[in-house]
Amino acid sequence: MNRTRLYVGNLPFRISENDLRELFEQYGQVNEINLIVDKMTGQSRGFAFVTMETSQAAQSAIDSLNGTSLSGRQIVVNEAKPREERPHRHRENSGRSRR
């Protein structure tokens, strides 16, 4: 399991990747930030994935940031769980005709 990839939840909706980088760089080198945004509006969905350079930096960020307040929201920072393969869903009533 990748112990350097973090899930960051309950984020303020106006947060940017730069804001997250500044926050997490206090605990070590940040390799990647993936801020999840709504495809229609482009606005943050309130969570992100941050990949740190080392597992020590990741653990330091978890210990220091989990449960802290950011713009009035208590953020969640923990080790990201691996994404499981989801079975393809067949939509019976998708609203489109197949004729």
Give tens-digit pLDDT for 16-49. 999 999 999 999 999 999 999 999 998 899 999 9
Please give the pLDDT value at position 3: 87
**Domain assignment present for 24:** yes
**Domain assignment present for 31:** yes
Give the domain range for residue 32. 5-79
**Domain assignment present for 38:** yes
- The enclosing domain of 49 has a CATH number of 3.30.70.330
**Domain assignment present for 72:** yes
Query: What are phi and psi for residue 32, nearest 5 degrees?
Result: -155, 145
Query: What are phi and psi for residue 19, nearest 5 degrees?
Result: -60, -45
69 pLDDT band, cuts 50/70/90, is: very high
**Domain assignment present for 30:** yes
**Domain assignment present for 22:** yes
Closest CA to 17 of 32, 29, 38, 27: 32
Q: Provide the number of structural domains found in the chain.
A: 1
The residue whose two tokens read 């769980």 is 81
Strands (E), 4-86: 5-9, 30-37, 44-52, 69-70, 73-74, 76-79
**Domain assignment present for 59:** yes
**Domain assignment present for 94:** no
Q: Whole-structure pTM over 0.95, yes or no?
A: no
Cβ distance 8 to 20 under 8 Å? Answer: yes
